[in-house]
Structure 1
Amino acid sequence: MVVLATKLYVEGDARERSLDSLRSLVDNELGELDVEFELGVRHDDFPSVTIEGEDATVARNVLREEFGEIVPDLESGETYAGTLESWDEDGIVLDAGQDKGVRISTDELGLGQGSAIQIRERYGLVQHMPLRFVYGGDGDPSRLAEEEQDRLYDWTRGDGRLNVNSATRAEVRATLNRAGHAQDYVTVERIGLLEQSVICTEDTDPPGLLASVGEYLPAELRCVVP
């Protein structure tokens, strides 16, 4: 079984649609392999995938690579994935499936000046988005992984983004198109099952896009402005 490092936290019909979306994503990743899989959702909203078949080991590795994995125990110095749970002036807390969240202080984010709240705004970090980190343990502080720092820095060098949670990629695309913004974005990049990043065109103003589509999306929206 693989516990995926992305959360399924919506309810009702949205939960069923999200499960269907996840089932399609997993099926696309494993379609060429000789396996059967079954989806479940843990009490903490992390989905689990039980895999059987000749290529089960390969399939588990494919899912770990694509989604990241929630593991029962964290080892000092190793890189893991968690989801953004909370934040304050002094740092952020990631949910990595442990009883207690993994706290990363502002200094260990490696994302420039300002408080963790200001950094969250600058990089458009929406709640529940997956982030990779290096676990401290043994008295050492945990820190954001270098690959994550590089990804977020790259976001600020592009043409701007609008990050969204609580919606699948298909739902975000449909909302943008219905609101008349089909020409205002390049693509919708999936950063988690229910966390998406709308990559704007060169002429699109991310805050303006947020103002236009915000009423249609019952979600948290954050802009990345280059």
Structure 2
Amino acid sequence: MQYRTIIVEDDPMVAQLNRVYVEKDPRFQVVDRFGDGRSALYWLENHQADLALLDVYMPRFSGLELLRELRGRAIPIEVIMITAASDTGTVDALLHLGVNDYLVKPFTLERFQQALDKFCAHREAMAAAGGSMSQSEVDRLLSNPQTAGVLPKGYLKRTLELVRACLREAETSLSSEAVAARTGLSAVTARRYVNYLTECGEVVSTVDYDTGGRPSRLYSLPKGDT
């Protein structure tokens, strides 16, 4: 199964970049692209899609206006915001309308992939639950869809447990390079996993500026979890 995806973005170059990023993931299929919110609304009144990648600032009909219309008309589609809009009023309004994730331009491919993984984890958790969910399942879903029992594509449970154990046994905060050295993982892999755990709220990250050079990001378990 592929998730039917539309892109709503007035900048053709940004829209194409979003399309390239989405199509790197075989779980998704881009079915159409729109340069303004009203055109997307007309299309969604007669077609079905699972996910919209939505900008805020567009002519004729903004992303915020489109999302309000979608919710008001109960059109069933999930939304990932991809926008330069970062003022608190806009962010708060969009979060209240139930967006699945919010990416502020410019963003990295890794962060974009995390948004796709989060969407898939939410869909898979709901499907696995069937017609009803226990309180614990609801709690996990509300705290973070990525911890609802489904790991994102490209992550292995045994590697995640290895990184968790490394941080649990460490007496001080560790850089991703230090995690790599202690676990035998590559630096890139260690960084991906500690960042994932940070996204899930399992790990706290801080920046060490006292390195004598480039600042280093350090990772540790929250106090009381060691």
Structure 1 or 2, whichever has the larger Rg, is 2
Asked whether the two chains share a fold, i.e. TM above 0.5, the reply is no
TM-score by length of 2: 0.29
* More strand per residue: 1
